[in-house]
Chains A and B, each alone.
Chain A
Amino acid sequence: MDKHFPEDLKYTKEHEWCSVADGVATIGITWHAQDALGDIVYCELPQAGEKVSAGEAFGVVESVKAVSDLYSPVTGEVVERNDAIMEKPEGLNEDMYGDGWMIRVKLSDTSELDALISKADYEAFLAEEEG
């Protein structure tokens, strides 16, 4: 998939994306995250019922070469986990914004969403990081 960052998503500087509907956030990793990692071969995610906290690690993705923590954009309880992507983690390289979603979290504090950044701000951040 070519480099892209959908307009309707919110982003973090740890390279996760988040979309919110009815108080539930769907979370995944950005195009940049999967590109930096390369071929993703392993993914570990929390199951329904577990709690995640904004800014804290909630799981792990691994490429052939590297291990990378996943940081939650929001705080809340996991209501759904994408078991299919744990079974076939290469889907994170192929469709990171669609079939590659990771978990859905019932938000405990919607004001946290204000800390997430827009597509434009995320792209500016990437440009800055790349120098």
Chain B
Amino acid sequence: MTEDLKKTPLHAQHVEAGGRMVPFAGFEMPVQYSGVVDEHKAVREAVGLFDVSHMGEVEFTGPRALEVVNRIITNDLDKIADGQAVYTVMCNEGGTIIDDLVVYRFSPERIFICVNAANRDKDFAWMKEQAGDDCEVKDVGDDYAQIAVQGPNAEQLVARLTSTDVASIGRYWFATGEVVDVDAIIARTGYTGEDGFELYVPAADAPKVWNALLEKGADLGVKPAGLGARDSLRLEVCYPLYGNDIDDTTNPYEAGLAWVVKLKKASDFVGKAALEQVKAEGPKRKLVGVELVGRGIARQHYPVLVNGEKVGEVTSGTMGPTVSKPVALAYVPAEHAAVGTEIQVEVRNKPVDAKVAPKPFLKK
């Protein structure tokens, strides 16, 4: 493992628990502990803990904070209340995706944004540039650790560690309160398709919260889970992964993210003109679910064929432990994107019959 990889505040906990550490987005992160399938099932059936402290956080503050953020994201912060969060993308002028974000509205004067680890520096530079002198923009990624508590038992577990009424926090709402005795943002968000929370805590206090969650959750079946399970969980429910399924060459319409683009919002925003055009013309390609009919697992970068011609590429693919079948996403031309369309995926130079499948693979 090279020396220049960063460590999260929970690194020692991962090593002690037997986590298999791998480089990811500049960090040394656990890819698995007990095994990807076991961890995946723990999250679907009980509760799993993910250290997602590698993700970045940026805070916008000042009288015009909401207005500034609304100018750079496609979703609309005017349509949510204080204490609510939204999933959104942030586009460039060309309407392609700089990053996908979760934006937390504390108040019109304080907006807190969670960004992808690999995009942290790029995002922060872009945000600073867009904000200019209109509000304060601060990279607070090093101040926070983030622990995702995901699964049907997540509410019960978090409730044991806080006096905050977590049952009353709705999906995509958040509260601030103490967890153990640590100040935390308790957000009912996640990336697994399960109910759950993401806890933002001061970096130095992360081990205390992590250990308490494991200890108090033993009878609830809690398990630490790694990046491997995180990927198979999100893919079964077709949440896009930046760098795989979306990037700065893809627009939100072709990625199936039209629902986060609010062309009619009051404020202008970066990429609006380009996105209006994409919407008017219709996306030329679409991110579709792919199910192999023949044997095999479609993996990232495998070619997608129609009548023997390459028409696209798999962007993510794995075995789905809960659906018990291979799951994949791929971009295909719009004319081949209808559910049921017969396509092929080239697996190790051999075409394997496949079809466009309904998304998501796992319906919750």
Contact = CB atoms under 8 A, between A and B. Distances in A.
Interface in B303-338: 318-319, 321, 326
Contacts of A42: 295-297, 319, 326
Contacts of B37: 39, 41, 64
Nearest to B20: A38
Given A60-B348, A64-B228, A38 B32 contact: yes
B30 to A, nearest CB: 12
B360 to A, nearest CB: 18
Nearest to A63: B36
B31 interface: yes
B296 A64 contact: no
Interface string A38-69: 11011010000000000000001011110100
B146 interface: no
B31 A65 contact: yes
Contact of A65 (B36, B296, B326, B348): B36
Given A64-B232, A64-B318, A65-B31, A39 B299 contact: no
A6 B222 CA distance: 36
A93 B319 CA distance: 16
A67 B318 CA distance: 10
Given A62-B319, A64-B232, A65-B231, A38 B36 contact: yes
Instruction: Bin the interface of chain B by size.
Output: 10 to 19
Contacts of A44: 295-296
A39 B297 contact: no
A62 B36 contact: no
B26 interface: no
B318 A39 contact: no
B35 interface: yes
A38 B228 contact: yes
The secondary structure that dominates the B interface is: mixed
A18 to B, nearest CB: 24
Of A42, A44, A63, A64, most buried by chain B (CB within 10 Å of CB) is: A64
A111 to B, nearest CB: 31
A62 B299 CA distance: 10
Nearest to B36: A64
Interface string B22-51: 000000000110011110100000000000
B36 A39 contact: yes
A41 B297 contact: yes
A66 to B, nearest CB: 9
Contacts of A39: 35-38, 321
Contacts of A65: 31, 36, 228, 231, 318
Nearest to B232: A64
B228 A62 contact: no
B192 to A, nearest CB: 15
B362 to A, nearest CB: 15
Interface of A: 38-39, 41-42, 44, 60, 62-65, 67
Given A38-B36, A62-B297, A65-B318, 8 more contacts: A39-B36, A41-B319, A42-B295, A60-B348, A64-B36, A64-B228, A64-B321, A65-B36
19 contacts: A38-B32, A38-B35, A38-B228, A39-B35, A39-B37, A41-B37, A42-B295, A42-B296, A42-B297, A42-B319, A44-B295, A60-B348, A64-B36, A64-B228, A64-B232, A64-B318, A64-B319, A65-B228, A65-B318
